[in-house]
Amino acid sequence: MIGFLKNPRAVEYLELVAADKVTKINDTTRSRIKTIITRGTEKGWSYDKMAREISSRFEEFAVGKPQQHIDSRAHLVAVTETAEAYEEGNRIAAKQIQQQGITMEKFWLTVKDNRVSDGCDENMDAGWIGIDEAFPSGHQRPPRFPGCRCDTLYRRKPQEGE
């Protein structure tokens, strides 16, 4: 089983907003899902392990196949919440580097297959842009929607002649 590198910025972000966008649940369920996702991210759990934890507590999250690459609602929540947290954590790190006087750029990376949305393709086609600029979709970073498989790459802006 593959897990994730631990990212303290992602954990901090989840402590603030995890499960806020999950729909059709009550506050108790939201709080429990937030705890599972935050703890799982803190411990480096895989999407599958987080989804199993959610499904074991909430049967209704174990059913359905919301997207081709997503097995259940629990998996969709795990993938989306984790992506949101890691992307925001990485964005914060890049912004902190820029605050030290190093100009940073970002790039929207898709998985480059036939299931990538037109909007994500357009964002990737924008190439490297300034860290504070929005991509063509209006987003600062992925995910654009639940289950989005895109990532953001960051780099120091090349100097003239490099």
pLDDT tens by residue, 94-125: 999 999 999 999 999 999 999 999 999 999 99
**Which residues pair with residue 104 across a beta bridge?**
156
Q: How far apart are alpha carbons 78 and 48 in whole angstroms?
A: 8
Average pLDDT along the chain: 90
3-state SS class at 17 = helix
- For residue 66, what pLDDT is reported? 61
Q: Are 58 and 75 in contact (CB under 8 A)?
A: no
- For residue 32, what pLDDT is reported? 93
The closest alpha carbon to 98, from 73, 132, 122, belongs to: 132
- For residue 14, what pLDDT is reported? 87
3-state SS class at 161 = coil
User: Which residues, including other chains, have CB under 8 Å from residue 108's CB and lie 6 or more apart?
Assistant: 120, 123, 124, 126, 135, 141, 142, 150, 152
pLDDT tens by residue, 3-44: 566 778 888 888 888 888 888 889 999 999 999 999 999 998
- For residue 1, what pLDDT is reported? 46
Q: How far apart are alpha carbons 132 and 159 in whole angstroms?
A: 18
- For residue 38, what pLDDT is reported? 93
